[in-house]
């Protein structure tokens, strides 16, 4: 399968983790080298990589540290793993890294309690966990491609970390004639910077449009399918995703365009009402490339994501749970 750099934006090679600097994409394809926990915390704090990349960084940091500390084992190693988890959890206070690091600490503690080799248990489990995720994402890419027919014109918003671009590559192999439209995705331009770039890199026919152009595209029947990702999923099917997703969902309903969502099934949150709306720093709206876009003092409001009710969703393409 042809792979987009955004699909797996951090990979281990020997004792180094190479993390794609997504802030430079598409101008440069540059990887930041991470060798220990401090450097991992730094790369997360500086937001060089986004949600999925950060998740990879967090898990891979344990592997880096096991490599760097061959002398540790048993109780000492369990303690070291606890300290790494603590540092990573503090890298972004509002981010639920503890859910991930907690699992690794749990594996270490479990091995210790059972009198097993802590090092071997953690290595095996982290590697297995990463491989499982990789495999399930690959499976979903196949299912996304299966949901795209020849003649389709697919609108997407923000970025789904490689999966849609790779599905586009599969469609090309299958000689399907498919067009893609991607939104700019203001204020951060993820669509213009990441999605456009990776779809084009995969050889897809892609056109960039302003976030304002959706109604016209749909009214003129220029798109016949919407595929977007989701950041958080609720038990009832509601989901959170980048700001702008909700209005695309409403427009899809109005213009009878099927609205497909890539989901990660979860029962932890009952419904969208239980997801707090994250109001991000207005600077992100008012600045571009770290320069003020507008003169004078401007009051902005930047809700970071939308919570979309499940009744707008035509179909979920869920990641398989094994």
Binding part of the chain for a copy of itself, among 7-15, 91-99, 161-169, 283-291 by CB under 8 A, reads: 283-291
Of 221, 267, 246, 215, the C-alpha closest to 311 is 246
239: which 2 tokens? 């989901």
Please confirm, yes or no, whether 38 is among the known catalytic residues: no
Q: Is 251 in the site for a copy of itself (CB under 8 A)?
A: yes
DSSP 155: E
279: which 2 tokens? 């109001």
Residue 150: how many CB atoms within 10 A of its CB?
Answer: 10
Q: Is 95 in the site for a copy of itself (CB under 8 A)?
A: no
**Cα gap 26→28, rounded to integer Å:** 6
Binding part of the chain for a copy of itself, among 30-38, 42-50, 103-111, 199-207 by CB under 8 A, reads: 199-207
Binding mask 20-39 for a copy of itself (x = CB under 8 A): ------xx------------
Contacts 24+ apart (CB under 8 A), 136-141: 136/319, 136/320, 136/321, 136/322, 137/7, 137/163, 137/319, 138/1, 139/319, 139/320, 140/262, 140/317, 140/318, 140/319, 140/320, 141/1, 141/166, 141/167, 141/170
Q: Is 103 in the site for a copy of itself (CB under 8 A)?
A: no
We find the least distance from the C-beta atom of residue 157 to a copy of itself, in angstroms, to be 8
Binding mask 208-247 for a copy of itself (x = CB under 8 A): xxxxxxxxx--xx---------------------xxx-xx
Among positions 111, 192, 227, 275, the unique one binding a copy of itself when judged by CB under 8 A = 192
Pairing of strands 16-20, 31-34: antiparallel
Q: Is 196 in the site for a copy of itself (CB under 8 A)?
A: yes
Q: Is 199 in the site for a copy of itself (CB under 8 A)?
A: no
Which residue of the set 231, 238, 274, 306 is catalytic? 231
**Cα gap 171→199, rounded to integer Å:** 12
Among positions 22, 39, 184, 198, the unique one binding a copy of itself when judged by CB under 8 A = 184
Residues 157 to 176 in contact with a copy of itself, rule: CB under 8 A: none
Residues 293 to 312 in contact with a copy of itself, rule: CB under 8 A: 293-296, 298-303, 306
Cα 192 off chain centre by: 16
**Cα gap 94→128, rounded to integer Å:** 27
Q: Is 5 in the site for a copy of itself (CB under 8 A)?
A: no
Measured from the CB atom, is 109 or 207 closer to a copy of itself? 207
Catalytic annotation, residues: 231
- Positions touching a copy of itself (CB under 8 A) are 26-27, 181, 184-187, 189, 192-193, 196-197, 200, 206-216, 219-220, 242-244, 246-247, 249-251, 253-254, 277, 285-286, 288, 293-296, 298-303, 306
């Amino acid at each position: 399968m042809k792979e987009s750099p955004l699909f797996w934006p951090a990979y281990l090679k020997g004792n180094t983790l190479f993390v794609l600097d997504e802030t430079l994409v598409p101008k440069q394809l540059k990887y930041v080298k991470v060798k220990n926990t401090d450097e991992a915390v730094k790369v997360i704090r500086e937001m060089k990589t986004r949600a999925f990349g950060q998740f990879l960084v967090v898990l891979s940091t344990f592997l880096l540290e096991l490599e760097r500390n061959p002398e540790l084992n048993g109780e000492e190693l369990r303690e070291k793993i606890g300290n790494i988890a603590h540092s990573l959890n503090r890298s972004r206070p509002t981010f639920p890294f503890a859910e991930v690091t907690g699992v690794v600490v749990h594996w270490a503690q479990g091995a210790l309690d059972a009198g097993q080799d802590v090092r071997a248990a953690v290595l095996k489990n982290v590697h297995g966990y990463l491989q499982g995720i990789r495999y399930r994402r690959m499976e979903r890419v196949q299912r996304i491609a299966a949901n795209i027919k020849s003649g389709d014109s697919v609108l997407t918003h923000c970025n789904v970390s490689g999966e849609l671009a790779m599905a586009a590559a599969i469609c090309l192999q299958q000689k399907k004639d498919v067009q893609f439209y991607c939104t700019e995705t203001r204020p951060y331009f993820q669509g213009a910077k990441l999605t456009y770039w990776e779809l084009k890199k995969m050889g897809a026919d892609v056109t960039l449009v302003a976030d304002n152009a959706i109604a016209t595209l749909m009214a003129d029947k220029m798109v016949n399918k919407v595929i977007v990702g989701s950041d958080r999923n609720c038990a009832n099917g509601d989901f959170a995703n980048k700001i702008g997703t909700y209005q695309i969902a409403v427009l899809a309903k109005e213009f009878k365009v099927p609205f497909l969502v890539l989901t990660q099934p979860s029962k932890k949150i009952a419904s969208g009402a239980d997801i707090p709306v994250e109001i991000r720093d207005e600077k992100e709206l008012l600045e571009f490339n770290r320069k003020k876009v507008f003169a004078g003092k401007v009051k902005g409001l930047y809700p970071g994501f939308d919570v979309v009710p499940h009744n707008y969703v035509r179909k979920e393409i869920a990641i398989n749970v094994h």
